[in-house]
Amino acid sequence: MNELHDKIAVTGLAAISSAGVGTDSLREALQDGNCRLQPMPEEILGEKGHFWGRAEGFKASDYMPPLKARKFDRCSLFAVVAAGMALKDAGIDPAQMDPSRIGILLGCGFGGIANSEEFLRGYFTKGADGLIPMLFPNTVPNAPASNASIEHGLKGPNVTMVQRFCSAESALLMACRFLEEGRADVMVTGGVDELNPLMMRGFKAAGQLRHYGRGFSEGSGMLVLEKSGYARQRGAAIRAEVGNIRTIGRLVKGAEDEGASRLLGVAADHSLLSLSGFASEFGMFLERAPSLPRLETDRILGCSLAMGGLSMAALVLSLLPGQRALHLAASPEGPYFAVDFNGGSSV
């Protein structure tokens, strides 16, 4: 699939990660390049030598009363706070606009898995009497986007994408389409995921701690998208514009080179390459852009199924006015996404 999204502007950003809360913390991590992963406590897995990227700097009490925070799963807390930060960064007050014209479209991997575990544990240990009804709404992957939309009064399109390590990129693609089709004037998009000991024990049981589960992390990266004309009309600063978006489901055996060529386009036209998910493991991709400077947030912040949201936010933060960059995301067996970003006005 090859879609040209002409004049879709990025006007706001938000970041919550193992580097801290806010885009300043993300920018600092990008500048010094030091890994923010921390050793995982030995008692979690019964062994040493593993690292994870918990967002230790995030405290829900900094943003809402404790009693209110209790009704959300951790993933939803990330989404609610990050969405508010992104809208504020874009200069958007939903109360001053038609709420039906503001939507949210997020990529999410595991969602509120801690609440899911608690909910199901009650059933398996005590039967129906052990179920806690208030936990159930947070056991589904679309809870973060839904909770964020409720908290901020966003009544436009509300969709969640779960597509392995390309979940955030898939969300970006659909968000752009909604804007082009006139379904919304503003779309909040990106990715959100949480991390907890249960997940790491699951990765160990599946034998994935040193492969898919290595260096796992949590957080949220969000972008506010608008049509460029709409953004300029309201006087917003344009951080970047989304260009062509290319995606393929998988690389067909015997036609890998053709698939890679269709995905990357003319990589030489770019001056910066952003890699997310397992993109760095595909040599056929990197061979087409051997000299481009690379931005690999996974090596600094850790990875997750929806970490592409943070990778794209980091890329926009790194872009100079007029600079053209390529964001490449891949899951081990597909899908694969390539997104062109063009630097906007300086902020």
User: Which of 205, 233, 261 finishes a domain?
Assistant: 233
CB within 8 Å of 295: residues ≥ 6 apart: 30, 272, 273, 274, 275, 311, 314, 315, 318
CA-based nearest residue to 327, from 195, 187, 191: 191
Note whether 287 and 257 are within 8 A (CB). no
In a domain, 51, yes or no: yes
**Domain range for residue 119?**
8-233
Q: Are residues 318 and 197 in the same domain?
A: no
Q: What is the pTM of this model?
A: 0.92
Give the model's pLDDT for residue 130. Answer: 72
In a domain, 319, yes or no: yes
Q: Are residues 271 and 208 in the same domain?
A: no
Q: Are residues 112 and 13 in the same domain?
A: yes
150-157 mean pLDDT: 96
Q: What does the chain come to in residues?
A: 347
157-206 pLDDT, tens digit per residue, is: 999 999 999 999 999 999 999 999 999 999 999 999 999 998 899 889 98
Give the model's pLDDT for residue 214. Answer: 85
Q: Are residues 167 and 199 in the same domain?
A: yes
Q: How many domains does the chain have?
A: 2
In a domain, 1, yes or no: no
CA distances in angstroms from 44 to 47, 54, 175, listed in the order given: 8, 14, 38
Query: 258-282 burial by CB neighbour count: b if 16+ within 10 A, else e?
Result: ebbebbbbebeebbbbbbbbbbbeb
89-136 pLDDT, tens digit per residue, is: 999 999 999 999 999 999 998 887 777 777 767 767 887 777 677 666
Q: Are residues 41 and 150 in the same domain?
A: yes
In a domain, 289, yes or no: yes
In a domain, 165, yes or no: yes
In a domain, 3, yes or no: no
d(C-alpha 61, C-alpha 57), whole Å = 12
Q: Are residues 205 and 301 in the same domain?
A: no
Q: Are residues 226 and 248 in the same domain?
A: no
What's 33's domain CATH number? 3.40.47.10
What is the phi-psi region of residue 227: left when phi exceeds 0, alpha when psi lies from -120 to 50, beta otherwise?
A: beta
Give the model's pLDDT for residue 179. Answer: 97
Q: Are residues 221 and 93 in the same domain?
A: yes
User: Which of 183, 211, 233 finishes a domain?
Assistant: 233
Q: Are residues 192 and 257 in the same domain?
A: no
Q: Are residues 257 and 295 in the same domain?
A: yes
